[in-house]
Amino acid sequence: MSNRTVVITGANAGLGLECARNILTRDDSWRVVLAVRDVDRGAAAVAGLGAPDRCTVMSCDLASLRSVRDFTAALASAAVPPLHAVVCNAGLQIVDGTQFTDDGVEMTFGVNHLGHFALVQGLLDQLHPPARIVVVSSGTHDPARLTGMPHPLYPTAEELAHPPDGADVNGRRRYTTSKLCNLLFAYELDRRLDHGARGTTVTVFDPGLMPGSGLARQYSPVQKFAWHYVFPVLRVLPNVNSARTSGRRLAALVADPALDGVTGSYFEGAKQIRSSTDSYDTGKALDLWDTSERLVQHVTT
The total number of residues shown for the chain amounts to 301
The yes-or-no answer on residue 175 being catalytic is: yes
Of 154, 175, 187, 266, the active-site residue reads 175
Listed as own residue / partner, the contacts of 280-289 with beta carbons closer than 8 Å and 24 or more positions apart are 280/187, 281/184, 282/188, 284/154, 284/184, 285/184, 285/185, 285/187, 285/188, 286/188, 287/156, 287/157, 288/113, 288/157, 288/181, 288/184, 288/185, 288/188, 289/185, 289/188
Whether 67 and 61 have beta carbons less than 8 Å apart is answered as yes
Q: CA 266, CA 275: separation in Å to the nearest integer?
A: 6
Q: CA 2, CA 177: separation in Å to the nearest integer?
A: 38
Distance of CA 240 to the CA centre of its chain: 19
Q: CA 51, CA 89: separation in Å to the nearest integer?
A: 21
Q: Which residues are catalytic?
A: 175
